[in-house]
Amino acid sequence: MEYIKDFAWTPGITVADFVQKLGVVGFQSIELKRASELIVKMKKNNARTFLTFTSNMVTSGLRGFFAQTIKEGLADVIVTTAGGIEEDIMKAKGENFLIGRFETDDIELHEKGLNRVGNLFIKNESYMNFEDLIRPLLDVLYAKQKRWAVSELLREIGLTLQDEHSILYQAAKHKVPIFCPAITDGALGFHLYLFQQTHPDFIVDVVKDFGNILFATSHDEKKAVISLGGSISKHHAILATLLNGGAEFALYMTTAQKTSGSMSGATTNEAKSWGKVKDDSDVCTVIGDVTIMFPLAMIGAMEVLASEGLLGRSQKNTPQERLQDKENPKS
């Protein structure tokens, strides 16, 4: 049995050591340490890792860190919302979001053409620039083919961005599929609708993409979920793991409470009742702000993995490719 220890700062402390020290402080600090260790286990067990997040996290500066997480091989499947897609594109094209305050005059912001996300502001102008960008891009995609699964559409867009800090770009570069089941729930969906009015044979196929996320993993491989926040992003990933036998590893980070009965507040233990997470799985739920908790847990894991030479992405990123390697280890 471990005992609580007083925390003390030491010069030159690494993030990994900091997280370890927090692990004997108490309360959510203990869960944060468990979360970091769980990420290491996911990587060492070659688990197919689903990373899910909502658009507000892409509004924040976590956007570039998500892209780095993909690049370093710590996320194999991405699930997010429409706002996360469009804001990644906006930032890749040079749009900058402003730091504001939670306590502000929202009527005044509206008059100034500023949209508030917590204590972050997005200019109306950024959405206007997005509109100018997306229409000619849809023309190019339409010329290539008329019917797209969402993940295939997003991969094509990602290949055009050429921004190392872009989630879509890194995902496309490393063959990491991005799923967005609620693609119409935002500015991007509105422009897809407008485009379809003049191109009625242009189809974005959400149902086909449900099949794609199911085949993004398999019953035979180990599966892991890192779910940041909740909503449809979280559920879409754990539903895919349910239909493939359940996840062996699951890490949830949220500010929502389990007493709400919501998807955002649902814990990893609750997921076991559905079979989304296996009965004997290694799980952790951290209650706290993702903009603080996730970088600490992930960087702590990255430092451990880097010290053991385990940080980096395998060139094999489809279930078929990995299964072929397993059956033919010398190939």
DSSP 14: -
Determine whether 276 is an active site residue: yes
- Distance between CA atoms of residues 298 and 173, nearest Å: 22
Name the residue among 201, 205, 155 with its Cα closest to residue 178: 155
Hey, is 299 helix, strand or coil? helix
Q: Collect all residues with Cβ–Cβ distance below 8 Å to 98 and sequence separation of at least 6.
A: 114, 120, 121, 122, 123
Q: What is the DSSP string of 168-220?
A: HHHHHHTT--EE-TTTTSSHHHHHHHHHHHH-TT-EEEHHHHHHHHHTTS-TT
CB distance 168 to 65 below 8 Å: no
- Tell me the pairing of strands 98-99 and 48-52: unpaired
Q: String of b and e for 92-127 (b: at least 16 CB within 10 Å)? A: beebebeeeeeeeeeeeeeeeebbbbeebbbbeebb
Which of these, 255, 184, 237, lies nearest to 77 by C-alpha position? 237
Q: Which of 208, 276, 316, 330 is catalytic?
A: 276
> In which residue are the tokens 């559920």 written?
235
Q: How many CB atoms lie within 10 A of CB 226?
A: 25
Q: Which of 157, 165, 174 is nearest to 75 (CA)?
A: 174
A 10 A CB-CB count for 207 gives: 9
- The tokens for 136 are 């000619």
Report, as residue numbers or ranges, the catalytic residues. Answer: 276
